[in-house]
Chains A and B, each alone.
Chain A
Amino acid sequence: MTTQGRLLRAEGLTVTFRIPGGTVRAVSDANFTVRPGRCLALVGESGCGKSVLAHALLGLLPGNATVSGAAWLEGDGEPVELLSAPPAVLAGRVRGRRIGLIPQSPATHLTPVRTARAQLTEALRELGSAQRADDLVMRYGLRPADLDRYPHELSGGMAQRVANAMALAGDPWLVLADEPTSGLDRPLVEKAMGTLRELCDEGRAVLLITHDLRAAEQVADDIAVMYASRLVEQGPAARVFARPRHPYTAGLLAAQPDREFAPIPGLPPELTRLPEGCAFRPRCPRADDACAALPAFGGGVACHHPLETADA
């Protein structure tokens, strides 16, 4: 796959929702880049805003959302700014064609009253793809006969494969995988991660959104850690897992059952009532008065007192 000039670059991406009695800050000032051949995993606990970020990129936010900043999709001619692009551009030139979505819980994403084949064939036709449904699903480890089943007749792993085939029907170079492993058991998680790795190795870019650190570690080249709507740490996966710099990243890693298995004290803040300054301050062992001010992002981390690393 030619990857000339292709990348996704988010600059100051911010999403808020108006709700009765307040404003939810779901994504605050996110900056990141996704490149062909690489997998960026966006990790964080449930409710931190990571899925909202994915939906913002695809123009799939509900009507009460306000978006600011920019998300440039470059390559293939004129760059497209995803946040301000008209719906017709997103529908006709972006979704399915340049960005494919692997959804959370594929079994419920499929329409229950139509067979997998009917849905995949429709996707191929709408996208003007010359590929045949049978060939496409065989690439993802399904038999053509499996396509004649209804979604409720598919196991979790089979539904996952159908969803993969649908996401890739239009041969997009960027794949967004939004919690693709929720509800799958561990061997299936590993298979799903293996598939994402293959997509990278074919020259596609993958943005993986997950709360599952072990899954992220298996496939990601780069990690971005999100806490209370902000990216608090970014870096190469090997470095972040071995030598985290943000105390929140360190806490998440320490909570793994094969590490200290100790929880981070306290609860994350409400996105309707984010504290001034560093949102992690009330739970942070390193916090002091300096943390009343919002830490700037620098050196891969947004923290006034980052953990030192050997090569820092």
Chain B
Amino acid sequence: MLEAKDVTVAYQRKVVLAGVSLAVEPGLVIALSGPSGCGKSTLARVLALMLRPRSGQVSVDGVAVRGWRQRADRRLRTSVALIYQSPRQAVDPRLTLTEVIAEPLAANGRPDPERVRALARETGLTEDLLTRRPHEVSEGQLQRACLARALSLEPRYLICDEMTTMLDASTQALLVGVVDAYRERTGAGVLAISHDTVLLDRWADRVIDFTGPGVPAAPAATASTPDA
């Protein structure tokens, strides 16, 4: 179980999450839906051990998280992977797609070119794309590489933060299919964050509406909020 208990996050004085609890169970797809700006992505970063909450606890399979970002325990940190909405902002523009996928394995002292090739095949990336750099491939192709990278260390939990929002229907179906095949093979838990309820209804075992009870609505704005 990947669990957040009573998590509060504030950026300066603006409270973004106030006492939020959420559990991602192994083998299931838990979905988080809600409007832009409600704190979904902030919660994703907390659960991926990339943002230390002001208060509250996070635990991974029963082990309490004590350090965050580079101070996080390596075993805990690599057991949760995060995939972002915009792949272009999530990769080093100087690396080839092969290097993008291989990066986590190399950083953990376990370079494995065979596994990198297998991941590329799994995500439908062809040989000629693997030697290119991010600016030479499309958004959809780059997101495939980001998913391959996220799966490279066999995480126990996968957080997909608007993974397919920018992509066409076919690429969306492919990426979701790859995540589901991985989940079925390894029993990993998935947290799917999206505002697309049609997608979540199809994909998730359970949808949590992030403006529901126990979860704060977006902080009251001082000016008009025509998006509400």
Which A positions have Cβ atoms within 8 angstroms of B? 44-47, 141-143, 145-146, 149, 155-158, 161, 182-188, 211, 213-214, 251-253, 255-258, 261-264, 266-267
Contact = CB atoms under 8 A, between A and B. Distances in A.
Given A45-B140, A157-B227, A161-B226, A185 B35 contact: yes
Given A47-B139, A158-B226, 8 more contacts: A47-B140, A185-B35, A186-B195, A186-B197, A188-B36, A188-B227, A257-B202, A263-B171
A143 B224 CA distance: 8
Given A155-B37, A186-B196, A45 B173 contact: no
Interface SS of chain A: loop
A257 B199 contact: yes
Contacts of B201: 257-258
20 contacts: A45-B168, A45-B171, A47-B138, A146-B224, A149-B223, A155-B36, A158-B226, A158-B227, A186-B195, A211-B167, A213-B169, A252-B169, A255-B169, A257-B173, A257-B198, A257-B203, A261-B202, A262-B177, A263-B170, A263-B177
Interface string B1-45: 000000000000000000000000000000000011100000000
Contact of A155 (B170, B174, B227): B227
A252 B168 contact: yes
Interface of B: 35-37, 124, 126, 129, 138-141, 165-174, 176-177, 195-199, 201-203, 223-227
The 3 closest A-B pairs by CB, nearest first: A263-B174, A45-B168, A185-B195
A236 B168 CA distance: 21
A279 to B, nearest CB: 15
A6 B207 CA distance: 48
Contact of A255 (B36, B172, B197): B172
Contacts of B172: 255, 257
Nearest to B176: A261
Given A155-B227, A252-B170, A263-B173, A185 B36 contact: yes
Contacts of A213: 169
B171 A182 contact: no
A188 B170 CA distance: 23
A44 B169 CA distance: 10
B120 to A, nearest CB: 12
Nearest to B138: A47
A253 B170 CA distance: 9
A93 B62 CA distance: 68
Contacts of B198: 214, 256-258
Contacts of A256: 169, 198
A46 B138 contact: yes
Contacts of B167: 46, 211
Contacts of A211: 167-169
Contacts of A186: 195-197
Which of A143, A161, A185, A256 has the largest count of B CB atoms less than 10 A from its CB? A185
A142 B173 contact: no
B71 to A, nearest CB: 32
B224 A261 contact: no
Contact of B36 (A142, A156, A257, A261): A156
Nearest to B85: A183
Contacts of B169: 211, 213, 252-253, 255-257
Contacts of B126: 267
Contacts of B227: 155-158, 187-188
A45 B129 CA distance: 18
A184 B173 CA distance: 20
B168 A46 contact: yes
A16 B223 CA distance: 47
Contacts of A262: 173, 177
A105 to B, nearest CB: 11
A185 B200 CA distance: 14
Contacts of B140: 45-47
Which of B167, B195, B226 gathers the greatest number of chain A CB atoms within 10 Å?
B226
A283 to B, nearest CB: 9
Q: Which of B138, B141, B173, B224 has the most CB of A within 10 A?
A: B173
Contacts of A146: 223-224
B31 to A, nearest CB: 12
Contacts of B202: 257-258, 261
A60 B223 CA distance: 36
